[in-house]
Amino acid sequence: MKLNIKNTFTTALPSDSNLENSRRQVENAAFSYVKPKKTSKPEVIHVSPEMADALHISDNALKSDFFRNIVTGNEIYPNTTPYAMCYGGHQFGNWAGQLGDGRAINLFEIEHQNKNWKVQLKGAGETPYSRTADGLAVLRSSIREYLCAEAMFHLNVPTTRSLSLSLSGDNVLRDVLYDGNPAYEKGAIVSRISPSFLRFGNFEILAARKDIKNLKKLVNYTIKHHFAHLGKPCKESYINFFKEVSERTLKMIIDWQRVGFVHGVMNTDNMSILGLTIDYGPYGWLEGFDFGWTPNTTDRQHKRYRYGNQPNIGLWNLYQLANTLYPIIEEVEPLNTILEQYKVDFEKQSLQMMKSKLGLVVSDEEDVKVIQELEDNLQLVETDMTIFFRNLSNFTDEKSGLELIKEAFYDAENVSDEVKNKWTTWFKKYTNRLALERNSSEERKTQMDLVNPKYVLRNYMSQLAIDEADKGNYALIDELFQLLKKPYAEQPENEKWFAKRPEWARNKVGCSMLSCSS
C-alpha cells in the first residue's frame, strides 16, 4: 500500500512540546503528537470502495493485514507522526474551554489527483484531550457514523467521509442511557476522511487564550491550503475567509433542512471550518415533520438544537467565530455585514429550497404563503416528511392529493374531517400554483425527485444493523450502505425501506432519541 503522504498541517503549525500522553491543558500549540492504542483482535468489517479509490488504495491493499493494522491503529504508516488537535468550543451556548480530539487521532494526509485528504481514526485511544474519558468508541455509534457520513455524501450534503469500519476486539464500558447502569459493549474504530477536520473551536481556543500569533498562523494555514483562491493572507482575505465560511455553513444547513436531517449537537467544536457535516453523534432524520424535534436526550428540555432552530444556531456559532477573528481583523463593521447577510441569504435560500421540494420554478408572490400553510398542515397530525415530499412528485390534480399523502400519515385511519379539509384547501392552492408553471408534470416529477430523497438513514434502520452486528452479522450494514448510495433512485427491489418508522421503534433506545454516549 503505497500512499502519497504529505504533512502540511504538522509542518506549518506549532506542536505541543510535551510528548507525554497525559490529560492536561495544552497551550501555545495547535496539536499534540500521540500514538493510537493497539487493540487485541482488530477486524475490518466494512470499507467504502469509493473513498478507498479517492485515496488511491487498491482493492488488493484493502484486503491486506497492513491496511487492517493501519485503520485500527495497530501499526503506524512509515515516516508519519499521528497527532490529536487542540480546540475549544461553546457547548449548548456556554464556553467550555479546552476540548480537543479526545478520541480522534489524525494519522496522516494523502494527496491524490490534486486533492489533499486527512485520514483520522475515531475511537483509537486516549489523547491529552480525553479529559476523564478513555478515547474509545463502541460498535453502535461507529456504525451510525460510518453509514451516515457516506449516506450524506450521496444525498449531496457537504460532509466528512468514511473509509472503514472495524472492530477492535476489545470491550468498552459505556452508560448508554446516562442512568448509572454502564455495561460492556463491543469496541470499534471508524476511519474518517476529510480535506480538513478544523473546527470553529480550533480558532476559538487560541483567541480565548489571547494567543494571537498562533491564531494568525492557523488562519494563514487555512487560507493557503483550503481557501487559496482568496489570495495571500491579509486583512482583506481574512474578511473574505469569514464570508466564505459563513456562506458554506448556511449552504450545509439549508441542505440539512431539505432532507430533514437534525445534527443534534451543533456546538462550535462540532462546526467544520469548511462547512462540512462533522461528528455524527445523536443525529436523526425527521420522521413526523416537526420543527421542534431534537434527537439528543441531553437537549430534550431546552431543544436548543431542534430541527427548526438549526439555521439560527449556525448564525450564533458564526457570531462566536467573528469574535474569534476580530483580533486579527480589528474591524467590526465588515464582520457584522457578513452576519447580517447570512440572515438575508437564509430567507432567500430557504424559500428557494422549499420551492424546489414543491417543484415550483417560476416566481410568484403567493409562494411564501403556500409554503407556510403547507408547513402548518404537516404538523396537524404526525406526517412522515420523507414519504410526504417523495410522493408529492406524483401529484397531478387536487383529487389525487389526499390519496397520495395518506401513506405519510402515521395514523391515517383516525385523521379528522377538519384536518382533511385543511389539506383539501391546500391542494386546491397547490393545483392553482402549479398551473403557472411551464414544465410538464413528468418534468416536474424528475426535478422534485432529485431533491426529495426516497431513502434516508432512519434511526430504526441503523438500530437494526447494530442489533445484527452485535450478533456478528454484518450483512445489513452492507445492505444499507448500498441502498443509501442511490437515495434519489426508485430502487423497487428496496421498497421495504421506503416506509414509516415501525411502531416498535417509536420509543426504543437508539430509534427515537439518542445520547452522546459512545
Q: What are the sequence ranges of the domains in the chain?
A: 5-200, 365-451
Q: What is the pLDDT of residues 109-132, one digit of tens each?
A: 999 999 999 999 999 999 999 998
Is residue 518 very low, low, confident or very high in pLDDT (cuts 50, 70, 90)? Answer: low
Active site residues: 269
pTM of the model: 0.97
Strand partners, 46: 165
Return the pLDDT at 461. Answer: 97
**How far, in Å, CA of 513 to CA of 454, rounded?**
22
**Would the pLDDT of 190 be above 90?**
yes
SS3 367: helix
Q: What is the pLDDT of residues 194-236, one digit of tens each?
A: 999 999 999 999 999 999 999 999 999 999 999 999 999 999 9
Q: What is the pLDDT of residues 342-393, one digit of tens each?
A: 999 999 999 999 999 999 999 999 999 999 999 999 999 999 999 999 999 9
Return the pLDDT at 175. Answer: 81
Strands 94-98 and 43-47: unpaired
**Would the pLDDT of 171 be above 60?**
yes
Is residue 514 very low, low, confident or very high in pLDDT (cuts 50, 70, 90)? Answer: confident
Write out the three cell numbers for 132.
476523564
- Kindly report the number of other CB atoms within 10 A of residue 396's CB atom: 12
Is residue 177 very low, low, confident or very high in pLDDT (cuts 50, 70, 90)? Answer: confident
**How far, in Å, CA of 74 to CA of 169, rounded?**
12
Dihedral pair phi/psi, residue 276, rounded to 5°: -105, 150
**Would the pLDDT of 512 be above 80?**
no
**Would the pLDDT of 398 be above 90?**
no
Write out the three cell numbers for 131.
479529559
Query: Residue 277 in contact with residue 157, Cβ under 8 Å?
Result: yes
Q: What is the pLDDT of residues 199-210, one digit of tens each?
A: 999 999 999 999
**Would the pLDDT of 482 be above 80?**
yes
Query: Residue 260 in contact with residue 456, Cβ under 8 Å?
Result: yes
Is residue 517 very low, low, confident or very high in pLDDT (cuts 50, 70, 90)? Answer: low
Return the pLDDT at 176. Answer: 78
The residue-averaged pLDDT of 326-355 equals 98
Return the pLDDT at 392. Answer: 96
Write out the three cell numbers for 244.
466564505
Name the helix (H) or strand (E) containing 52. Answer: helix 49-54
Q: Which of 44-48, 305-309, 436-440, 456-460 has the lowest mean pLDDT?
A: 436-440
Return the pLDDT at 72. Answer: 98
The residue-averaged pLDDT of 153-178 equals 93
Is residue 470 very low, low, confident or very high in pLDDT (cuts 50, 70, 90)? Answer: very high
